[in-house]
Amino acid sequence: MEQVHFFYRSLFLFRRTLALVFLSGLAGCGNVNISSMNAIGGNITPIRQLTPQQKNSTVYIQGKIEKHIPLLNKHAYQLKDSTGSIVVLTNQTDLRVGSQVVFKGQLRYKSIPLAGQEQGGIYVEEK
């Protein structure tokens, strides 16, 4: 009976160590840093909840990269979560379509008046 408890205790420690190694590896990725690691599970804002009234505020968003749009001096990525999608501007060049990422950035709003109507939208600029 004691061998069974020893086995499960060893398995538990192995899993914890494996999780720690995995998270340490994530911290080495370019798009996930220590400040965003603190955000996981706590300060992540669903994309649907982002509004133009929050412009210039710092937000943490998490999702899957749906599209990459190379620009002249930056890169834009369309990020999608279960609530919606948003464009993220960043200097990072090594992000892959389909990967799950966390961004910390400033919420921005771009006004685009067209035929007397506002067609602008929000986006996140990574800092």
- CA dihedral for 68, 71, 73, 78, sign (positive or negative): negative
Evaluate if residue 119 carries a pLDDT over 90.
no
- Do residue 72 and residue 109 come from a single domain? yes
Q: How far is CA 71 from CA 16, 75, 94, in A?
A: 41, 5, 14
Domain count within the chain: 2
Q: Are residues 19 and 67 in the same domain?
A: no
- Whole-model pTM? 0.64
pLDDT tens for 45-79 read 999 999 999 989 999 999 999 999 888 889 999 99
Tens of pLDDT, residue by residue over 105-118, are 999 999 888 888 88
What's the rounded Cα separation, in Å, for the pair 17 and 40?
19
- Note whether 14 and 62 are same-domain residues: no
List 79's β-bridge partners, or say none: 65, 86
Domain that residue 6 falls in? 1-30
